[in-house]
A and B are shown apart, each in its own frame.
Chain A
């Protein structure tokens, strides 16, 4: 997968590196601010209340 992405990034090495970096940051931001907040309530890690 990563090889495939790398081969399809355009331009010379510096341009590819920059594009890869931007991709990584974009995916991280998507996970942190969109995916994780939605998934978190479904996970048991954050229970602090007493419930029967």
Chain B
């Protein structure tokens, strides 16, 4: 058939042998070659899939994040519940030292962006737009908020999932988080500062009086980590305002889940009075 085969079987040989055995040999050779080429093709496609997961999804996710970022900025600018800083009501502006600031409640449809996550430990300018819902569709765009869990600042558990590797790798370095590290959630009108649980002085994750660890590695079915009180029953009472991040562990695997727990630290900062963010972001 091909030139390679012709070289393998010198003409003198083929002429002298009878037709029957030669044809059977050809068929066998074609089959083996076909099998070999199929296996090589499967291998190449698998490699290409790895390239897709590691690099191409990053490009796609970066584009999604750009769009979301644009969308959420537009949304916040047009939001009637958020008074723009210059035209803030006089009484509120006149009494900034008190804490009358209560952020507007957030209601958002599945798939829509509603907050921006800032984690200075991961990168000084780290910011990812969080979308409502933690299904594949939403996670392809960025970190996703588990449906039914608390909203930023609320009592309960604000639970967010994100990809470790690929899709922009928002939570790639989540294992570098240390106790006391700030996780800042920006919403339409407020900044919420959460801090990773644990003992900041010793760096131990299990130093919190509540007994909730700052970091844990669990089985994929350990849904109690996103309970109102992390580790408690799914319909149990909330004992505080928590934030939980989930991603896969170890890297390049989906065997386990890496979990980071944090608790709300102090009152929210109004965006009208601190447009550039809380001190935790600057330091």
Contact = CB atoms under 8 A, between A and B. Distances in A.
A47 B1 contact: no
Nearest to B52: A36
A1 interface: yes
Contact of A31 (B48, B136, B162, B220): B48
A52 B225 CA distance: 11
A11 to B, nearest CB: 17
A48 interface: yes
B2 interface: yes
B53 A48 contact: no
A50 B162 CA distance: 11
Contacts of A37: 60
Contacts of B37: 1-2
B171 A48 contact: yes
Interface stretch (B69-77, B118-126, B194-202, B246-254): B246-254
B163 A50 contact: no
B221 interface: yes
B181 to A, nearest CB: 20
Central interface residue in A2, A31, A47, by most chain B CB within 10 Å: A47
A44 to B, nearest CB: 6
Contacts of A31: 45, 48-49, 52
A46 B34 contact: no
Nearest to B252: A45
Given A3-B2, A32-B48, A48 B221 contact: no
Contacts of B4: 3
Interface size bracket, A side: 20 to 34
A8 interface: no
Given A44-B254, A48-B246, A36 B49 contact: yes
B161 A48 contact: yes
B139 A48 contact: yes
Given A31-B45, A31-B48, A36-B52, A50 B166 contact: no
Contacts of B144: 49
B134 interface: yes
A50 B56 contact: no
Interface string B147-163: 00000000000000111
B1 A41 contact: no
B257 interface: yes
B47 to A, nearest CB: 11
Given A48-B164, A48-B254, 14 more contacts: A1-B41, A3-B33, A31-B48, A36-B49, A46-B167, A47-B254, A48-B139, A48-B161, A48-B247, A49-B246, A50-B218, A50-B221, A50-B246, A51-B220
Q: Which 9 A-B pairs have the closest CB atoms?
A: A3-B2, A49-B161, A47-B254, A36-B52, A48-B248, A41-B136, A48-B247, A48-B161, A49-B134
Interface of B: 1-2, 4, 33-34, 37-38, 41, 45, 48-49, 51-53, 56, 60, 134, 136, 139, 144, 146, 161-164, 166-167, 171, 218, 220-223, 225-226, 246-248, 254, 257, 259
9 contacts: A1-B34, A46-B163, A46-B248, A49-B161, A50-B218, A50-B220, A50-B225, A50-B226, A52-B221
